Amino acid sequence: MAASIYSKVSSVFRPGLFSNKVAIVTGGGTGIGKAITQELLYLGCKVVVASRKFDRLSKAANEMKSSLPKDTTADIKAIQCNIRKEEEVKSLMKSTVEEFGRIDYLVNNGGGQFPSPFANISLKGWNAVIETNLTGTFLCCREAHQNWMGEHGGSIVNIIVDLWNGFPMMGHTAAARAGIENFTRTCAQEWAQHGIRINCVAPGTVWSETAAANYADPSIFEGAIPAVPAKRLGKVEEISAAVCYLLSPGAAYVTGDTIKVDGGSGLQGFSGKFVLPDHDNMPPYTWEEDIKKRKEEEEDAHTRTGPQSKL
């Protein structure tokens, strides 16, 4: 058991790159977040993982902790946090500083959504997704700045989505993540003076067991492949590598940017993810027919009212 994580986890970056650094990863116990956490640990980082589902989070953290070598600088701690709750986010940041003395990195991976046609999204559902993804990320960024990074610098990575061509069936989360990308650009300018770099990583369709479990029909992942020039799904480790690059000194001149890790799907749109139904409800505008119709209406009006006498 002690070597299991290290027999699976590797990195393109040098060992010890993040020794004695401290990171917070929201949603760090499953899927992409877990892969990011594992690679950070592999590179010697101390990681605080946060999620509102503490039992699952704690179990994942304990498994990863038990797999750490004895001579590593890495460590992991689980803290329950609903990123929609301002006081819980404040507590997360303060607890991290109390436990490890600093916050060098913040990875905003936590979020959630559900598939639905845009017209069918209730206000409650809309608010839940916006608050979790957009407001939650805002709160984490702001509190990391207030509690450490504003005085000491740091690096933030926000996980968004492949939203460049719209996101049918996921319009709520696309709107939220587009907001994240825009405020990332703003913060990059306002916070550069504090030594803070902030960027986004935009995954395409990435398969993981926990991601697939969120959908009634896991085959939707395979259905995305035709729209991906790479002709395959992404791996969680490929997202993690991009995150670690942005956190690393190698990206010291990169801020306010977004790295797409999507196999080129952002260039193709959503033809493989959302099949448009056939219809004839958007006919072309024909000038000749419009002129003819107006003449007919004028003649009809004249016939009904008769010639108008002048008084």
43 closest CA partner among 235, 208, 245: 245
Between helices 236-247 and 31-42, what is the axis angle to 10°? Answer: 50
Round to whole Å and give the CA distance between 129 and 145.
Answer: 24
Instruction: Return the higher-pLDDT residue of 109 and 214.
Output: 109
Q: Domain locations in the chain?
A: 4-267
Round to whole Å and give the CA distance between 20 and 26.
Answer: 19
What pLDDT, on the 0 to 100 scale, is given for residue 6? 57
155 closest CA partner among 108, 112, 92, 111: 108
Tokens 């946060």 map to which residue? 50
Asked if residue 50 has pLDDT above 70, the reply is yes
Asked if residue 270 has pLDDT above 70, the reply is no
Helix (H) or strand (E) holding 243: helix 236-247
- pLDDT single digits (tens) 207-221: 888 777 776 776 778
Tokens of 136: 């939650």
- pLDDT (mean) for 194-198: 98
What pLDDT, on the 0 to 100 scale, is given for residue 187? 98
What sign does the dihedral 169-111-209-42 (CA atoms) show? positive
Maximal CA-CA distance, the chain: 106
Asked if residue 273 has pLDDT above 70, the reply is no
What pLDDT, on the 0 to 100 scale, is given for residue 227? 84
CATH class of the domain defined by 4-267: alpha beta
- pLDDT single digits (tens) 147-187: 999 999 999 999 999 999 899 889 999 999 999 999 999 99
Round to whole Å and give the CA distance between 20 and 4.
Answer: 22
- pLDDT single digits (tens) 3-38: 456 557 889 999 999 999 999 999 999 999 999 999
Burial of 85 (0-12, 13-18, 19+ CB in 10 A): middle
